[in-house]
Amino acid sequence: MQKKSNTKEKFFKSKLKINKKNKINNNHSPPKNKKNLSKTNNKKIEIKNDSRKYILDINNVNFNNFNRNIKCKKSNLITQFNTAKNKKRKDFLKKKDLLIKLYYSELNSLEFGEALIKDKREFLDYYFSLAKTNHNFLSICYYKDYNSVIIKLSLFFFDLASQIAVNELFFDDSTMHKIHIDGGSYNLIYQFPQIIYSSIISSILSYIIKLLGLSESNILQLKNSKKNVVVNIDIKVKSLITILKIKFSFFYVSLFILLGIFWYYVTCFCGIYRNTQMHLIKDSLFSFATSLITPFALYLFPGIFRIYALKNKSKCLYGFSQFLEIFI
C-alpha cells in the first residue's frame, strides 16, 4: 500500500512540474520567424499629392522631417490656391467692369487711361455716338443719356425760331433792292452767304442756351466723384439738385424772353414787308437745314483724332479730339 501511494505521489508531482513548465513557456513565447517580423515591421504608407503616389517605409523614415515636409507642402498649396483665387477674382472684376455698359456720353468723356481699357469702338461706332448725343434732332430720339427729353425738344424749337429771327436781321436795303430788281423771284446764290451767317449765329445762340438746359455734365461729374469718394454723397446729391433747379429756371426764363423778342420782331417785319415773307421762310428753312446737315461733316474730325490716338496711344491727340468734341 505504501508503494502504491508513493508512486501516486510521484506521478502527481511530475505532472505538476510539467504544467508549471508549460505555463512558464506560454508566458515567454518563442520569437517569431524573420518572415513574420518583416511582415509586421515593414509597413508601407501611400501618400497622394498632385496626382503622384509616394510610398514610404515607416522603419526608414524620420518622422520629424516628414511632418515638416508635409507642412511645407500644405502651406505651398494654400498659398498657390490663394494666389489663383485672387487672380481669378481680379480677372472677374476686370471682365465685370468691361461688361458694364456705359452710355455714349460716358464713353466719350473717359480719361485717356480708362479709354484705352474700356473703349473698344471703331470709327463708325464713335461717329454715330456723337450724332446721337449732340445732334439737335437725333438726340431727341436717343433716351440713354442724362438729359431731359422736354428740354431737348425745347432746344430744337428754339433753334428753329432763332434761325427765322437771325435771317430776318440780314434783310436790309440792299437785299430788298435785289428782290425788287429780280421781280420778286428767289435768288439762292445771292442769299447763300446770308444763310451761312445766320446758321452760324443761331448755332452759337443755341450752344449758349444748351449750357443752361442740359444736365448731363453735372450728373457725370457727380457719378465720377462717387467712384473715388463715398463720403458725403447725400450732401453732393442735394447740392446737385439745387444747381439743376437754378439752371433749369434760368434756362426757361431766358428761353421765354428770347422767344418773346423773336416773335415780336418777326411779326413786325412780316406785317410791314408782306412781299418778303416767302423769302424769309425759304432762307430760314435753308439755314435750318444746313445747321442739321453740317454737324455730320464736323463729327468726322474728333472721330479721326480719337481713334488714331487710342490705337497709337497718343495722349496729346486724345485731348485734342475731346477739345473738338466740345465745340461740335
Per-residue pLDDT tens for 53-100?
Answer: 444 444 554 555 555 666 565 566 667 666 766 665 555 445 444 434
Whether the Cβ atoms of residue 54 and residue 47 lie closer than 8 Å to each other: yes
Specify the 3-state DSSP secondary structure of 54: strand
User: Quick one: pLDDT at residue 227?
Assistant: 54
Contacts of 206 (CB under 8 A, 6+ apart): 136, 155, 158, 159, 162
DSSP secondary structure, 241-285, as one string: HHHHHHHHHHHHHHHHHHHHHHHHHHHHHHHH-GGGHHHHHHHHH
Residue 48, phi then psi, degrees to nearest 5: -105, 130
Phi-psi group of 110: left, alpha or beta (phi > 0 → left; psi -120 to 50 → alpha; rest → beta): beta
| H or E stretch at 52 | strand 52-57
HSE (side-chain half, CA atoms, 13 Å) at 321: 27
Per-residue pLDDT tens for 197-207?
Answer: 998 999 899 88
Q: Which three cell numbers stand for residue 248?
A: 433749369
Whether the Cβ atoms of residue 305 and residue 317 lie closer than 8 Å to each other: yes
Q: Which three cell numbers stand for residue 175?
A: 437785299
The answer to whether the pTM exceeds 0.75 is no
Locate cell 455734365: which residue? 217
Distance CA 317, CA 111 (A): 12
Amino acid, single-letter form, for residue 18: I
CA distances from residue 43 to 37, 49, 232 in whole angstroms, order as listed? 11, 20, 69
Per-residue pLDDT tens for 243-271?
Answer: 999 999 999 999 999 999 999 999 998 88
| H or E stretch at 115 | helix 112-118
User: Quick one: pLDDT at residue 184?
Assistant: 80
pLDDT confidence bin for 233, thresholds 50/70/90: confident
User: Quick one: pLDDT at residue 232?
Assistant: 73
User: C-alpha angle with apex 67: 63 to 70, nearest 5 degrees?
Assistant: 135
User: Quick one: pLDDT at residue 177?
Assistant: 83
CA distances from residue 30 to 20, 25, 26, 36 in whole angstroms, order as listed? 17, 8, 9, 13
Distance CA 285, CA 224 (A): 41
**164: nearest Cα among 279, 327, 274:** 279
